[in-house]
Chain A
């Protein structure tokens, strides 16, 4: 308004500053979260995946509040009730039926989410952390250290994981921590190989050179300078990896390894359903399996989206490494 009365020079100054602001607005990257959400909505499937995962995570967190019954409570008068069964008072009592000892399948499925989520996240955290540090060290230091770490990785890759897990758990005995430990050891190689490959590229870059010239210690270069720059592919792998670990956990529980009998897990529920299958108790085998599948498929869809969003170079690598 007052701009009209001002001299030409000042006028043009205002114009330039407006342009600058517009330019800034155009080229300033949108906040990360907003970009992520819009990309997610655009891809559609990941939205469903996040919804399902949040639901299952809530089940895991609030199992005690959400489950209608104690998952281990045996009701000898209510064995093998089909889904949507009413009790003697005519109330809907067993939404997903009961098993051969009368335990509520719905409550057990809800509690099962706990083990799957905890083991999945903890094992990936353990394996991913160890693998990243070892890979980073191997790639950065090279030489003898690199040789030793990578030959170890070769040996482990040549040793089928399921056999390693069966043996270790037979020896160590059951327990959630043993399960996490064994599953974690099974994952480090993938991270180590990727971290090493990425470190080999990054350590030659100029920014690493300049940090070194400033007198940073090797330790600082490795963990403060290089590590943040190699994290993206590792995060992408981790999301697929959680899915893979949940499947492995289910297989091991199915074999009766890992978690004590008193802890409800989806895999162990499926193992128990085997004997009731021929008599037609389909609900025992269907629901825990659906729970596993929904969780794993959601994680895989999310992983696929994350890969495309964070690191399009990895596109087509097939996932589920």
Chain B
């Protein structure tokens, strides 16, 4: 197990280096990155001054190491639009993004599981057909369009739900104000409901299809046949023998869905004016605020890489065959 953990940690370090290198190189891709940091009307002297101040006149590898060290200290330069450190701007918005991502993760897991198992046990029936057709449709709708439709239907037409807005829950919690967080909770859920569902529909659809095939795969195994042959009732066969063993591939799938959730969160935040990193990136892109985009991208990737690491470790813990490989 130790060897497995160490190998995974090393791979994570390589990945983080790769991600930062790619991010770093990308801003040099279009030529001189100084142009992103100065006004369009800046004179040649001003540009030269900025180039020296930002260190773009030094060799690339030195710039990269500098970039890494600064990143480790939480210094990624100032945001051009906000005129404060970009790192702080992104971290300020991170809790709202986490709320939506974690909410979406919980929702998609809780909903997809029963759908997948039900469809697998009723294989070939109307129930299975309807559920899988629904999953196919759910996988084919862009999450932001779903968000727009929710706003139109539940917000504008029926007036049941607020169309935008946000009540902070994680932020007071992180800052140690537990009371405030708990008082905020009902409001937070109310505002979160529509964006959360919009973000999770893709994951729910995808997961329920994968859970269905994982359970079907296990149901074909000899030990399930044996369990049935010795006269166990269907419920015991499903719960004790089938689902338990189907859990291993399912955990991987659930962990890997983070990528899809993140995908959805970034665009859906824009739809609902959610004050998270996605909305921030959207604004930063439109203002060509490169340092801010860069910081947000790097920090979100770190989040993504660490969830992948946790999932892999959990996977190794659940399935001994993996860590012995």
Residues of A within 8 A of B (CB): 151-152, 154-155, 158-164, 166-173, 243, 247, 250-251, 254-257, 267, 270, 273-274, 277-278, 280, 282, 285-286, 288-289, 292-293, 296-297, 300-301, 304, 316-320
List, in ascending order, chain B residues with CB within 8 A of A293's CB: 137, 140-142, 145
- When each residue 264-295 of chain B gets 1 if its CB lies under 8 Å from chain A and 0 otherwise, what string results? 00110011000000000110011010100110
Q: Is the interface of B mostly helix, strand, loop or mixed?
A: helix
Q: Is the CB of A251 within 8 A of B267?
A: yes
Decide yes or no whether B178 CB sits under 8 A from chain A.
Answer: no
Decide yes or no whether B30 CB sits under 8 A from chain A.
Answer: yes
List, in ascending order, chain B residues with CB within 8 A of A247's CB: 140, 142
Stretch at the interface among B57-65, B222-230, B297-305: B297-305
Q: Which residue of B139, B259, B301, B304 is within 8 Å of A300 (Cβ)? A: B139
C-alpha spacing A167/B308, complex, angstroms: 21
Q: Is the CB of B144 within 8 A of A254?
A: yes
Q: Is the CB of B304 within 8 A of A158?
A: yes
Q: Which residue of A155, A257, A300 is within 8 Å of B18 (Cβ)? A: A155
Q: Is the CB of A274 within 8 A of B271?
A: yes
The closest CB in chain B to the CB of A296 belongs to B140
A-B contact pairs, 9 of them (CB 8 A): A152-B18, A155-B14, A173-B30, A255-B270, A255-B281, A270-B142, A297-B140, A316-B216, A318-B209
C-alpha spacing A255/B217, complex, angstroms: 40
Interface size on B, residues (CB 8 A): 53
Q: Is the CB of A318 within 8 A of B210?
A: yes
Stretch at the interface among B21-29, B84-92, B166-174: B21-29
List, in ascending order, chain A residues with CB within 8 A of B286's CB: 256
Q: Which residue of B30, B270, B282 is within 8 Å of A171 (Cβ)? A: B30
C-alpha spacing A60/B55, complex, angstroms: 48
List, in ascending order, chain A residues with CB within 8 A of B42's CB: none
List, in ascending order, chain A residues with CB within 8 A of B151's CB: 277
C-alpha spacing A170/B80, complex, angstroms: 14
C-alpha spacing A262/B168, complex, angstroms: 38
A247-B142, A292-B142 are contacts. A160–B267 as well, Cβ < 8 Å?
no
Most chain A CB inside 10 Å of its own CB: which residue of B271, B288, B297, B305: B297
The closest CB in chain A to the CB of B21 belongs to A155
List, in ascending order, chain A residues with CB within 8 A of B266's CB: 162-163, 166, 255
Decide yes or no whether B263 CB sits under 8 A from chain A.
Answer: yes
Decide yes or no whether B9 CB sits under 8 A from chain A.
Answer: no
A171-B29, A278-B163, A318-B209 are contacts. A254–B270 as well, Cβ < 8 Å?
yes
Distance of A246 from chain B, by nearest CB (Å): 9
C-alpha spacing A301/B14, complex, angstroms: 38
The closest CB in chain A to the CB of B256 belongs to A157
C-alpha spacing A161/B266, complex, angstroms: 12
Q: Is the CB of A254 within 8 A of B267?
A: yes
**Which residues B211-263 have CB closer than 8 A to chain A?**
213, 216-217, 259, 262-263
Q: Which residue of A151, A168, A169, A280 is within 8 Å of B14 (Cβ)? A: A151
List, in ascending order, chain A residues with CB within 8 A of B288's CB: 170
Distance of B171 from chain A, by nearest CB (Å): 23
Q: Is the CB of A250 within 8 A of B142?
A: yes
A151-B14, A285-B152, A292-B142 are contacts. A318–B137 as well, Cβ < 8 Å?
no
Q: Is the CB of A300 within 8 A of B136?
A: yes
**Which residues B16-49 have CB closer than 8 A to chain A?**
18-19, 22-23, 26-27, 29-30, 36
Q: Is the CB of B27 within 8 A of A171?
A: yes
Distance of B281 from chain A, by nearest CB (Å): 6
C-alpha spacing A173/B30, complex, angstroms: 9
Q: Is the CB of B217 within 8 A of A316?
A: yes
Q: Is the CB of B26 within 8 A of A317?
A: no
Q: Is the CB of A166 within 8 A of B30?
A: no
C-alpha spacing A159/B301, complex, angstroms: 6
List, in ascending order, chain A residues with CB within 8 A of B141's CB: 289, 292-293, 296
